[in-house]
């Protein structure tokens, strides 16, 4: 943090440091916010609110252990502050320590029975513990206190990476459904990624075009009688047109109903087994899941799941990444993660005549959604050409990806094998330099790294 902002912090009071930190926190500038709260604590080590705010930043960047440490300090300094207990309870939820979370949330509500966030968090813990009646009761209380806040919170926190319904109509039972859906989506996605990794493929990109199309199908058809595979394929085809996916695609689907008390882990395991049976293998370049959960009966004693799986290929880029990762791993370098945002930038750049400069690339990466607020990005962009056979009808996407990888490794092996890089996006196309030139595979790649908060602060 430099310049005018830092002068405002150092020249003002400790309260000014906190106020500026809150401004930075609300803007998503987490590194600057941490520096502000650090300064307030340096000036006054007994400033409980500064510890609490710093703990909130640590929660937002996923460092829950440090968040708990700061909340511990805040509570020791001011044991009568209800907010400190509910905040620490939220951190314990993220750590999966639900009994500790429950104790903190009970304490918070004993100090302040109007703490909306504590009711929401305790309802979450009750949901995890399968105590759905108690969860619904807490969500009802939260709604009674502040319906707009509750609706907004659940619309943003439990949308499973895909935009959700209008949250203004949420009921407590809808919230329970969304919490479970969020967990199931993540669990199935992780299981799929394990199988894709075993096949040498990058992880599935949940926010890909096919993931969005599949979610639309699961959402639109979850509550209707599906008239066979043709009905699902027609709906999916329409959704694929809307996202303008350029390549061949397919879809698989199923729906199942469990007793409401069935543990989510069992649902995740059974759904993954069905996926394996239906699809056979997961060796597709693009692979997106759409999962919608609901209650198929009026008394809500049953829990239904409709899953749609969109898969396909568009240019062979995932196979390029798989080949690059095999070379990295054979060299003792960790594999790169396929990133949708980086891929979208690479696909934009591949048709440009002029290579964007570093500043423009950074702006384009931010615009595409790469990098959390307040985190620095390092990246590199380039490309290569490889000769291709003239009979393209005989080329598979895997072969195109292999040719692209050969060209990229021949021209950029040193860069691609750097351990600094974490993520990669690749775009591939068949092209000619002129009408009479031989056919070639043209590949462009963007590699990136998001620096940790601590590296940024240093």
Q: Between 282 and 226, whose confidence is greater? A: 226
Residues 307 and 374 grouped into a single domain: no
DSSP letter, residue 166: -
70 falls in which pLDDT band (50, 70, 90)?
very high
The last residue of a domain, from among 292, 313, 334: 313
Residue ranges with strand state E in 360-409 = 377-387
Indicate which CATH number applies to the domain containing 35. 1.25.40.10
Residues 35 and 164 grouped into a single domain: yes
199 CB neighbour count, 10 Å cutoff: 11
Q: Alpha helix locations (H) across 244-305?
A: 264-279
Which range has highest mean pLDDT (87-101, 128-142, 235-249, 422-436)?
A: 87-101
Which range has highest mean pLDDT (124-128, 231-235, 328-332, 338-342)?
A: 328-332
Give pLDDT, residue 167: 43
153-212: per-residue pLDDT in tens?
765 555 444 444 444 456 788 788 878 888 888 888 888 778 777 766 666 655 567 888
Identify the burial level of 387 via C-beta atoms within 10 angstroms of its C-beta, where 0-12 means exposed, 13-18 middle and 19 or more buried. Answer: exposed
Residues 139 and 189 grouped into a single domain: no
Residues 148 and 237 grouped into a single domain: no
Residues 27 and 117 grouped into a single domain: yes
350-374: per-residue pLDDT in tens?
888 888 888 899 889 988 888 766 6
Residues 66 and 133 grouped into a single domain: yes
Q: Calculate mean pLDDT across residues 60-75.
A: 95
Query: What pTM was estimated for this model as a whole?
Result: 0.62
Q: What range does the domain containing 366 cover?
A: 317-457
The last residue of a domain, from among 271, 294, 313: 313
Residues 342 and 290 grouped into a single domain: no
Give pLDDT, residue 283: 61
The last residue of a domain, from among 254, 280, 313: 313
Q: How far, in Å, CA of 49 to CA of 58, rounded?
A: 14
Give pLDDT, residue 160: 44
Residues 324 and 218 grouped into a single domain: no
Sign of CA dihedral 152, 157, 158, 159: positive
Residues 119 and 256 grouped into a single domain: no
Does 315 have pLDDT greater than 90? no
Residues 160 and 250 grouped into a single domain: no
Nearest C-alpha neighbor of 354 from the set 387, 381, 386, 320:
381
Indicate which CATH number applies to the domain containing 249. 3.40.33
Residues 151 and 238 grouped into a single domain: no
Give pLDDT, residue 457: 43
Give pLDDT, residue 202: 64
Torsion of CA 416, 421, 424, 427, to 10 degrees: -40
**Count of structural domains within the chain:** 3
Among 241-250, 321-330, 440-449, which is the least confidently predicted range?
241-250
Residues 31 and 157 grouped into a single domain: yes
Q: What is the helix (H) or strand (E) element at residue 306, kind and residue range?
A: strand 302-313
Q: How far, in Å, CA of 233 to CA of 53, rounded?
A: 49
């Amino acid at each position: 943090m430099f310049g005018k902002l830092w002068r405002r912090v150092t020249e003002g009071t400790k309260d000014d440091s906190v106020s500026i930190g809150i401004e930075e926190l609300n803007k998503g500038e987490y590194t600057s916010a941490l520096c502000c709260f650090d300064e307030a604590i340096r000036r006054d080590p007994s400033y409980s609110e500064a510890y609490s705010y710093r703990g909130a930043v640590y929660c937002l960047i996923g460092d829950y252990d440090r968040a708990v440490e700061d909340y511990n300090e805040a509570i020791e300094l001011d044991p009568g502050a209800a907010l400190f207990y509910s905040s620490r309870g939220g951190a314990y939820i993220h750590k999966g320590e639900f009994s500790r979370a429950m104790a903190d949330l009970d304490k918070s509500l004993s100090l302040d029975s109007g703490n909306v966030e504590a009711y929401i968090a305790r309802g979450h813990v009750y949901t995890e513990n399968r105590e759905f009646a108690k969860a619904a009761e807490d969500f009802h209380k939260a709604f009674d206190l502040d319906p707009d806040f509750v609706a907004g919170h659940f619309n943003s926190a439990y949308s499973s990476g895909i935009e959700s319904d209008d949250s203004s109509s949420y009921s407590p039972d809808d919230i329970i459904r969304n919490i479970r859906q969020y967990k199931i989506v993540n669990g199935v996605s992780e299981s799929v990624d394990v199988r894709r990794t075993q096949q040498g493929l990058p992880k599935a990109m949940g926010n890909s075009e096919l993931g969005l199309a599949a979610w639309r199908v699961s959402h639109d058809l979850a509550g209707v009688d599906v008239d066979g595979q043709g009905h699902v394929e027609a709906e999916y085809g329409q959704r694929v047109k809307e996202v303008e996916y350029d390549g061949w695609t397919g879809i698989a689907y199923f729906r199942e109903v469990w007793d409401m008390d069935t543990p989510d882990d069992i649902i995740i395991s059974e759904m993954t087994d069905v996926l394996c049976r239906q699809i056979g293998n997961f060796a597709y370049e693009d692979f997106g899941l759409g999962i919608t959960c609901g209650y198929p009966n009026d008394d809500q004693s049953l829990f239904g799941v409709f899953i749609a799986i969109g898969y396909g290929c568009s240019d062979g880029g995932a196979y390029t990444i798989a080949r690059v990762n095999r070379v990295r791993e054979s060299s003792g370098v960790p594999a790169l993660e396929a990133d949708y945002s980086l891929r979208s930038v690479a696909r934009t750049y591949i048709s440009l005549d002029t290579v964007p400069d570093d500043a423009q690339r950074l702006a384009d990466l931010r615009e595409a959604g790469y990098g959390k607020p307040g985190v620095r990005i390092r990246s590199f962009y380039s490309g290569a050409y490889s000769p291709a056979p003239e009979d393209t009808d005989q080329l598979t996407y895997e072969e195109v990806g292999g040719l692209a990888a050969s060209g990229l490794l021949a021209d950029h092996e040193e860069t691609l094998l750097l351990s600094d890089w974490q993520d990669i996006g690749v775009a591939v196309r068949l092209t000619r330099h002129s009408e009479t030139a031989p056919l070639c595979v043209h590949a462009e790649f963007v590699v990136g790294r998001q620096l940790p908060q601590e590296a940024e602060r240093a």
